[in-house]
Amino acid sequence: MTVAERLNDIQQQIMDACKRAERNPEDVTIVAVTKSVGPQRAREVIESGIRHLGENRVEGLELKMPEIGSDARWHFIGSLQSRKVRDVINRIDFLHSLDRASLAKEIQKRAERPVDCFVQVNVSGEASKSGIGPEEAADFIRLLGAYDKIRVVGLMTMAPNTEEEQVIRNTFRGLRELRDEISSLGLPHAPCTELSMGMSNDFGIAVEEGATFVRIGTAIVGYESGERS
């Protein structure tokens, strides 16, 4: 299948999920995760109508940005080391992995403009996953008010790697409920209206539970390096 054909299938699945959840499909943004493919395949994504591209390494941005540049809105979706902030933060439109005070401090130091950030929350509690605990989220986000280069647009999580749909659904539902709680605080620096959740294998459930950004890799771009996303 071509990128365009895969994308059409993904968009239909999102429309179906929105219909089940009585949502507007226009409220769901597809972030095509191009970390495992080269610039040419990423360009195909752009030509198919997707403008949001996701990378998880500095090297991916450096490889693709000269080819695509401002034709895309760039999302950094991987864990970001503090020492890499200066190489990333002024190249991207969204950061999906803000999860610690030291990272926030480095962003404040390096960013030339306010950056739209998702606070990463480890809803499932798995030791293998990054993110702050749900019980820490509100206090952490309040503290971010001290940094005028950070705008908390929403929360991000990853579901456990399991076939149990209810476990996945509960994870996404937990993030949505937490988002609603934080949004209700009315913090000027943290409108926190968005939910970044759902990947190639579970984005339908994520959409049903309120995702506004879904991070879909191989289901759209296929494989080149063998890395799945």
What digits encode the pLDDT tens for the residues 186-198?
Answer: 999 999 999 999 9
The whole-number pLDDT of residue 127 equals: 82
CA distance linking residue 127 with residue 135, whole number of Å:
16
The whole-number pLDDT of residue 178 equals: 98
Chain-centroid distance of CA 223 in Å reads 20
Residue 214, helix vs strand vs coil: strand
Could you report how far apart the first and last alpha carbons of the chain are, in Å?
A: 17
The whole-number pLDDT of residue 227 equals: 43
Question: If you search the block for the tokens 């480890």, which residue do you land on?
Answer: 122
CA distance linking residue 218 with residue 229, whole number of Å:
6
Q: Which residues of the chain carry a pLDDT beneath 50?
A: 226-229
Q: Which two tokens stand for residue 111?
A: 């960013």
The whole-number pLDDT of residue 54 equals: 97
133: which residues sit within 8 A by CB, 6+ positions away? 121, 122, 125
